[in-house]
Amino acid sequence: MTTPFRGCHTVTVTPFTEDGSAIDIAAQKRFLDWQHRSGVPGVILLGTTGEFLTVSDAEREQLIAETVAHCRGRMTVMVGATNAHTPTAVRYAKLAERLGADGLMIAPPYYYTPTEDEIFAYYAAISEAVGIPVMLYNNPFTTHVDMKPHLVARLTKHLPNVRYIKEASMDVGRVFDIVEATEGVMNVFAGERVVESYRLGAVGYVDPYGNYAPRASTALFPLLEAGRVREAIAIQHVLDEITNIIKEGHPLYGHQCYSKALAAAAGYPVGDVRPPITTFRSLGEEGRQRVAVMTKLLQKLDRMMDEYGFAKAA
């Protein structure tokens, strides 16, 4: 196993060219350099924010290979390998391992609403096929599958490389329940409510805000670990303001198209989203106004980071 994953890992957008026809590798490398300079310990490719359902197999291989090569020795790289077809998920997992990924993040099969035995068999097939760590991804709002603590404990007990979970059920108490059910073996990463999750035993955060506020969002865990809880709460409050602005729009396009628009506003353009997600370009003045408001909040976060003594990205 690799060194344990800890802290805030950016679950990244996937940069596309202007016309959306290809992955923009040059933009990806600039974006990754920004992440590294901002102190991000690791990135997670091809999650929900990364529009994994719109990426071809050839693009998947290209993105993983280029990212691993560019990050090697600087940041860890986890890769989403979720699929509703178990052999395809296994193939994606083996590909990521072959290309040098440090770990995987995998949600249960979506659409079918599988039974617990079916979920177990899915993860068992993946776990047996690879040697790198597997992070379960519990997000019942997108998969319509809720992996309860007793199932997480079963997976942890029987599958030796299943040692992480992104817990995004919106029930922060689940963090404590999972730690208890697995007797502390499972490493829980928050999917939301970072401060509260940390207090209940989370060791990290799968961080969408890292796409446009990496310095501030990455600081959350160092602040919490240093006992600077009030400052971490202040950062979380500003991030919550950004979330509320995004949520006023359509729930599907928010954390993809606005993440990309805000990354561009920060100086790291990564293109727009692919269908069926609503493009930022199509939002017109509404989108531009929201980005203007959120940009002021990002500037506020930068001032807070200066005040808290965190160095600017070089």
Q: Within 10 Å of residue 284's Cβ, how many Cβ atoms?
A: 9
Residue 306 to residue 312: CA distance in whole angstroms: 8
Question: Considering 92, 122, 123, 166, which one is annotated as catalytic?
Answer: 166
Instruction: Give the per-residue SS3 of 101-120.
Output: CCEEEECCCCCCCCCHHHHH
CA distances (Å), origin 311, targets 1, 48, 219, 268, 296: 32, 30, 11, 19, 20
CB 99 within 8 A of CB 65: yes
Residue 292 makes CB contacts below 8 A (sequence gap 6+) with none
CA distances (Å), origin 262, targets 55, 108, 111, 216, 256: 22, 30, 31, 14, 10
Residue 130 to residue 254: CA distance in whole angstroms: 34
> Is 166 marked active-site?
yes
Question: Considering 122, 137, 164, 209, which one is annotated as catalytic?
Answer: 137
Residue 21 makes CB contacts below 8 A (sequence gap 6+) with none
Catalytic residue list: 137, 166
